[in-house]
Amino acid sequence: MTAKDKIHAEIDSLNEEYLDELYLLIQDFAQSKQHLKKTEFHVKIETNKDKCFRGFR
C-alpha cells in the first residue's frame, strides 16, 4: 500500500464534517513545501591563501 493509498483510506474513514478542516491543513502543508522548493541558498566561502592551514611540517 502506497502512502497515497494510506492517506486515501484515512480520509475515507473521516466524518464529512472534518473534511473542510483537513483540506485547509493539506493546502497549508503543500504551500509550505512549494515555498521551500523555490528558496535557494548560496554559500560563498573565501579564504586568504596565506592564512590557509597547510598541515604539519
Domain count within the chain: 1
Calpha distance 48→4 (Å, rounded): 52
What residues make up the domain containing 22?
1-57
pLDDT at 57: 47
> What's the pTM?
0.55
pLDDT digit string, tens, across residues 2-56: 999 999 999 999 999 999 999 999 999 999 888 666 665 666 677 666 555 555 5
Which of 33, 28, 3, 29 minimizes the C-alpha distance to 11? 3
